[in-house]
């Protein structure tokens, strides 16, 4: 697929109504095309075409199901902040490819800062977490330091950008 | 914990693995009737297993080139200060995620900005002025991958 650069989008410049549509989609991703069209004041067909266009441009990458893991028995969510031994030149690649194989890891992020990588871990309970931590995480290569944050609650979670 | 049967699990799994799925595609993939898929999805929503859908947006293409995660430690604690902090922080439009955490920090925030100087503005004017805010650590996001999580 053709990769769209920032410049192309900037050249394209979104109109006010397009911005309003994107904002509405971000705020209410469950809304159907008809409802969105009504909210931003365009016809359903035009709205549908715009959404297609946003997907072609890569602005909208897709829609995914929002699953509540707690209801599936995964009561514990832990954010592991990891510092790697960067004197090893393949540290990032080796660590990341190992982390991708752990099924309880549902997010992997890399950073510029004190923390190099963050893994989000879903576990059934503390015993389960302990076994993932000891048998899988600590077996990953080139870990220099690990810090754990246990997530108590999501106070706010949104995808909305202030456009 | 809610007990789900094999069909429920297969539906949830498909929805996690594939984007933009419609009930008719699910019914084709799993070889069950579309009305059955509809009923199951409705039930999974009622049980709270499925919370609707989320849209994945390329923030960079909309002019937000910088994402920063902040670890925030409160200087003063107590029920009132937590509530004050939460009320103020959730109203900042650039803050997309606020998680109450246990560990080195009290809160974890995801902040979006147009560029680094825009981030500096948000940090100085919005974050550092929050009630009760103490130590703040910032890490700039370089890359992000979504994994499927613990599905079979």
Long-range contacts of A40-48 (CB under 8 A, 24+ apart): A41/A17, A42/A17, A47/A21
A3 in contact with B, Cβ within 8 Å: no
Q: What is the pLDDT of residue A11?
A: 42
A73 and A53 in a common domain: no
Put simply, the chain B residues between 109 and 128 with a CB less than 8 A from any chain A CB are: 112
A110 and A87 in a common domain: yes
User: A64 lies in a domain?
Assistant: no
Work out the angle between the directed axes of helices B6-17 and B34-47 (0-180°, nearest 10): 90
Q: What is the pLDDT of residue A1?
A: 46
- Cross-strand pairs, B106: none
What is the domain count for chain A? 2
Cβ–Cβ under 8 Å, residues B15 and B22: no
Q: What is the pLDDT of residue B89?
A: 97
Domains and CATH numbers, chain B: 7-47 (1.10.10.10), 59-140 (3.30.70.920)
Q: What is the pLDDT of residue B40?
A: 93
Per-residue pLDDT of A6-30, as tens digits, reads 544 554 578 999 999 999 999 999 9
List CB contacts (< 8 A) between A157 and chain B: 96-98
Interface confidence: ipTM more than 0.85? yes
CATH number at residue A119: 3.30.70.920
**Spatial distance between the Cα atoms of B71 and B136, rounded to a whole number of angstroms:** 6
Low-confidence ranges of chain A (pLDDT < 50): 1, 7-8, 11
**Spatial distance between the Cα atoms of B66 and B52, rounded to a whole number of angstroms:** 27
Per-residue pLDDT of B23-60, as tens digits, reads 889 999 999 999 999 999 999 999 999 998 889 999 99
Put simply, the chain A residues between 77 and 136 with a CB less than 8 A from any chain B CB are: 79, 100, 103-115, 118, 122
**Spatial distance between the Cα atoms of A29 and A35, rounded to a whole number of angstroms:** 11
CATH number at residue A32: 1.10.10.10
Higher pLDDT, B118 or B79: B118
Of the candidates A110, A155, A163, the beta carbon closest to that of B99 is on A155
User: A63 lies in a domain?
Assistant: no
**A142 is in which domain, residue-wise?**
69-150
Beta-carbon contacts of residue A107 (< 8 Å; ≥ 6 apart): A118, A119, A120, B144, B145, B146, B147
Q: What is the pLDDT of residue B4?
A: 85
User: A161 lies in a domain?
Assistant: no
- Give CA A36 to chain center in angstroms: 24
**Which of A17-31, A113-127, B73-87, B111-125 has the lowest average pLDDT?**
B73-87
The whole-model pTM stands at 0.89
Q: What is the pLDDT of residue A18?
A: 93
Per-residue pLDDT of A60-76, as tens digits, reads 998 888 999 999 999 99
Cβ–Cβ under 8 Å, residues A117 and B56: no
**A104·B149 Cβ contact <8 A:** yes
């Amino acid at each position: 697929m053709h990769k769209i650069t920032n410049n192309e989008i900037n050249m394209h410049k979104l109109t006010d109504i397009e911005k309003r549509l994107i904002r509405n989609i971000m705020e209410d991703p469950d809304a159907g095309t008809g409802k969105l069209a009504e909210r931003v004041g365009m016809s359903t067909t035009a709205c549908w075409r715009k959404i297609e266009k946003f997907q072609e441009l890569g602005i909208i990458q897709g829609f995914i199901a929002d699953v509540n893991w707690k209801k599936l028995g995964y009561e514990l969510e832990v954010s592991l902040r990891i510092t790697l031994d960067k004197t090893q030149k393949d540290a990032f690649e080796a660590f990341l490819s190992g982390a991708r194989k752990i099924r309880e890891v549902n997010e992997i992020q890399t950073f510029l800062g004190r923390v190099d990588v963050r893994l989000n871990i879903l576990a059934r309970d503390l015993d389960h977490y302990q076994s993932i931590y000891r048998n899988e995480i600590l077996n990953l290569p080139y870990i220099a330091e690990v810090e754990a944050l246990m997530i108590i609650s999501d106070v706010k979670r949104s995808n909305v950008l202030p456009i | 914990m809610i007990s789900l049967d094999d069909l429920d699990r297969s539906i949830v799994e498909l929805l996690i693995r594939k984007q933009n799925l419609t009930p008719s595609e699910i019914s084709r993939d799993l070889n069950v009737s579309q009305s059955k898929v509809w009923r199951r999805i409705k039930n999974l929503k009622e049980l709270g297993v499925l919370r609707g859908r989320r849209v994945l947006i390329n923030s960079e293409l909309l002019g937000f080139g910088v994402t920063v995660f902040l670890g925030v430690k409160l200087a003063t604690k107590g029920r009132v200060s937590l509530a004050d902090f939460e009320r103020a922080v959730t109203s900042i439009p650039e803050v997309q995620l606020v998680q109450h955490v246990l560990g080195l920090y009290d809160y974890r925030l995801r902040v979006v900005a147009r560029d680094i100087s825009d981030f500096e503005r948000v940090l100085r004017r919005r974050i550092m002025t929050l009630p009760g805010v103490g130590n703040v650590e910032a890490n700039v996001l370089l890359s992000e991958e979504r994994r499927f999580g613990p599905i079979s």
